[in-house]
Structure 1
């Protein structure tokens, strides 16, 4: 099974190829959120580098959010387009799941934090004893809410995600002692590995049901509601 995965939820856009649970190709570009111009060339280079055609892909996977509104839309739209053109199934992977899978070698509780706006984080907790399982749904909240949940965790506690460094600072100031999974953030390779698991479990969807997960209203939507 060949999977092509994209992650465009943060300033670093990435693409990965996964064959039967093994990453065979990976490319990324720090495009500072200009993903509409960079992600497709990254995909093309990755396919050429591995001597593959897009038509050989069996499953198309996207990191569907939460994250940058524009970034999420670009990645989801690209994957929907590929899947629709080739009539192939899709995998919808949460940004927080992707970051958890990026830390799959860290055993214990994984607290995934991705920076949102207004001093908030997108976050979720996972348990990893060799198999990554959810302990909570994806949520959005301030650091104090996350720290309160950290205090209830027992055993090794790892912080991961692209907001992990900042969340670690909050934790240390609060007298907590979690471990930081440095460099572990959402990326297309982690998304591809989770997508392979989803394919094995029959959890795929089609292009018509692949939708972004924002968890919060956009700034324009919030302003519109405030002006009512």
Structure 2
């Protein structure tokens, strides 16, 4: 099974191609360019460098949120367009699960963290490759309360890991910060998780059925909603 995967839910952007669980190629950038500038050229590079015809891809996969509203939207739209163009299915993978994937074999609880601004994070907990909590948006103070009952090592990973670690490390002696080079989500993890889910019976969806997952409204919509409530 050949999988072309995309990850553009935060500042970094990556594209990967796997074949039957083997990584064939991956491109990763973490520069101050918009994903609308970088994503499709990266897809072209992967296909060209691996001499792969896009029509031979079996499944198109993407981390479909939570994350940056713009980044998630760009990634989902790109995958929907490619899949629809060649008549192939799609698979959406939680960004937070993508962050946790490299640590599934670690003897600890993995706390995936993405900066949601305003002292909030998108977060979920995993252990031994299994999900412990659903994806959610919460204040860092609320996260601290939820972690107090865990007596195992807790590994912080994701683009919100460092700032959360800085705020909570004095209150916890069981928190570990993931190495910087392994802290961010990558398209290869999206591909491997897609293969895992399909092999376990989770069927991919059509391009029309693939949807982004935001967890909360974009800032502009939140501000508009707040103004309407104040007028009542």
Q: Same fold (TM over 0.5)?
A: yes
Distance 1:66 1:73, change over 3 A: same
2: distance between equivalents of 1:153 and 1:96? 19
Q: Indicate whether 1:76 and 2:76 are aligned.
A: yes
SS in 2 for 1:198: helix
Q: Segments of 4+ in structure 1 off by > 4 A?
A: none
For residues 173-223 of structure 1, give each alpha carbon's deviation from its aligned partner in whole angstroms, at most 9, with x where no partner exists: 223331122232211111111111111123222211111100011111111
Task: Could you tell me which runs of 5 or more consecutive residues in structure 1 were left unpaired when the two chains were aligned.
Answer: none
Deviation at residue 3 of structure 1 after TM alignment: 0.4
Partner Cα separation in structure 1 for residue 152 and residue 118 of structure 2 = 31
> Are 2:145 and 1:148 equivalent residues in the alignment?
yes
Q: What is the alpha-carbon distance in structure 2 between the residues aligned to residue 205 and residue 107 of structure 1? A: 33
Q: How far did residue 160 of structure 1 move?
A: 1.1
Report what 1:180 is aligned to.
Answer: 177
Where structure 2 has 5 or more consecutive residues not aligned to the other structure, the ranges are none
Deviation string 1:82-127 (CA, Å, 9 cap, x unpaired) is 1111111111101101001132342321111110121110000011
Could you tell me how far 1:31 is from its partner in structure 2? 4.0
1:91-170 correspondence runs (5 A): 91-128=91-128, 132-170=129-167
Superposed CA deviations along residues 10-60 of structure 1, whole A, max 9, x for unmatched, are: 111100111111212110122435111110010111111111111111010
CA RMSD of aligned residues (A): 1.3
Structure 1 residues 33, 122: closer, same or farther in 2, change over 3 A?
A: farther
